[in-house]
Structure 1
Amino acid sequence: MSALTFKLKLQTAQRIDVSPLTPDFLAGNSATDIAATELQCGNQRLRADAVFDISGDDSSNIVFDGANGKLDFIGSKMQSGNITVNGDAGAYLAFQMKKGSVTVNGNAGAYAASGLAGGTLHIHGNVGDFLASAIPGDKKGMKGGLVIVTGNAGDRVGDQMRRGIVLIEGNAGAYCASRMLAGTIGVMGSVGEYVGYGMRRGTLLLFSKPALHSTLQDCGTHTLPFLSLMFKSFRNLPTKFATINKNRVQRFGGDLANDGKGEILVFQ
């Protein structure tokens, strides 16, 4: 069996909701049924075979070839299988995904990993604003799982994040870990202003000291053995974080304006 492959052939000004093209939704469907799957595109619905050239038959392994940033909701609510995106992904990548893995060989749009509860998302490029954050009207961002970003991330990474691990090898924008409730975010590069704004719990790992607002308290320099255990758990991950072995940090607590007990750890 070969991977079920969707090669983009339709260039449209409108965004396309590809949430039905997941291993769970397509399991057991015939080639005819898959081709007839309807996708929302603006105010119209298009057949999958009008948007993509379709080949392969293994629906547990899906590939999007020639993808661009107008393909939204890739891997939405996945509970099994694997998706590989060759090209860029649109907004809401891996939205509310529960299990499985999504790999993007390109960039991704806003709200990637929003509501993610399990599984792995690996972006080999940059990602837009609100990574692992709650969508408007919701109070729950990422709830579990693992996200790896090889490039940079936009603003509001982990806004209202509740659980899980986000590892960013590049830079992150403003308001990183804003209103964070739990979980771990690691950023190897720089972060923008108002880091940890409204943070209540959780851990933010940084490799350079950022500009901190007044309600984050300097708690001094510490050797924290649990960090060695954490980085040991990263050893088999496909990321630069797998090679780190440090436990000496400068610790900042807060956000005190929100009665927060979060921590920002800056490696020495």
Structure 2
Amino acid sequence: MSALVLTLRNAPAQRVDAGALNPTALAGLSVADIAALTLQIGKRTVRVDEVFTLEGDDTADLVFRGDCGKFERIGAGMKSGRVTVEGNAGAYVGQGMLGGTIAISGNAGAFCATGMKGGRIEVAGDVAEFAGGAIPGEMKGMAGGLLLVGGNAGERLGDRMRRGQILVSGNAGDYCGARMIAGTIAVAGTVGAYPGYLMKRGTLIVNSLPTQMLPGMVDCGPHRLGFLSLLYASWKGLPGAFGALDASACTVRRYMGDMGVVGRGELLVRA
């Protein structure tokens, strides 16, 4: 068996819900069955083989080729298997994902990993706003798993994050970790204004102070935190800035908050 490769014929002008094209949803289907599935593009309903050419037959190893920036919910709800996007992906990548791996060689749209409970998402480029965050109407965003970002992250990274880990090798926008309930976010580059806004619990790890701090983040001074050595060791070998961290370098300046909501979250600035 070889990977099932979906090569985009022509980039659509409107957004497309690709949530039905993932290893879990396609399990047990023949290539002919998959080709006959339908996708909604605006007001039109089209067959999959009108949008993609299909090669291979392994539905557990799915590859999208071409600029899929208009395709939303890639890998949504998948429980196992692998999805590779050779190019950009649209919004809601891995929404509600339970397991498996998604790898994107380009950028991903807004709300990447929203509702994710398990598995791993790797984005080589940038992610837009609300990565790992809650979509409107939901009380929590990412709830487990690992999101790796090789580039930069937009505003509201990890908004209402409930569990899991987000590692960003580039920069993060304003309000990183806003309304965070639990979990871990680490940013190797710079962080925008007001990280930890209305944060209740969880951990933000950064390399430098943000452009503007919240008044509700209280400076608790320098600390050597042993749990960081275990955390860094667990990241060893990961792609990006965090896979080569010195596990013994666990001295940080610790800020607690957001005291505006009597929060017990922490912002750790690496020494």
Q: If the length of structure 2 is used for normalisation, what is the TM-score? A: 0.97
- Aligned runs of 1:111-260 on 2, under 5 Å? 111-210=111-210, 211-245=212-246, 246-260=249-263
Alpha-carbon shift at residue 178 of structure 1 (Å): 0.1
- The answer to whether the 8 A contact 1:23-1:62 is kept is yes
How far 1:5 moved relative to its partner? 0.5
1:60 and 1:21 map into 2 onto residues whose CA distance is 11
Q: Take 2:75 and 2:225, find their aligned partners in 1: how far apart are those partners? A: 37
Partner AA of 1:81 in structure 2 = G
- CA shift for structure 1 position 67: 2.8
Following TM superposition, by how much is the alpha carbon of 1:172 offset from its aligned partner in structure 2, in angstroms? 0.4
Q: What 5-or-longer segments of structure 1 have no aligned partner?
A: none
Q: Which residue of 2 aligns with 1:55?
A: 55
The answer as to whether partners of 1:7 and 1:67 remain within 8 angstroms in 2 is: no
SS at match of 1:231: helix
SS at match of 1:85: strand
> Is the CA contact (8 Å cut-off) linking 1:14 and 1:42 kept in structure 2?
yes
Question: Is this contact kept in 1: 2:237–2:244, CA < 8 A?
Answer: no
State whether residues 178 and 195 of structure 1, in contact with CA within 8 Å, keep that contact through their aligned partners in structure 2: yes
For 2:32, the equivalent position in structure 1 comes to 32
Q: C-alpha distance in 2, partners of 1:265/1:31?
A: 50
What is residue 14 of structure 1 aligned with on the other side? Answer: 14
How many angstroms apart in 1 are the aligned matches of 2:134 and 2:168? 18
Amino acid at match of 1:267: R
TM-score by length of 1: 0.98
Output the amino acid matched with 2:72. D
> Is 1:10–1:50's contact at 8 Å kept on the other side of the alignment?
no
Pairwise CA distance, 1:25: 1.0
Tell me, yes or no, if the aligned pair for 2:11 and 2:67 is still in contact at 8 Å. Answer: no
Corresponding residue of 1:106: 106
Alpha-carbon RMSD: 0.8
- Aligned counterparts of 2:67 and 2:12: Cα–Cα separation in 1: 12
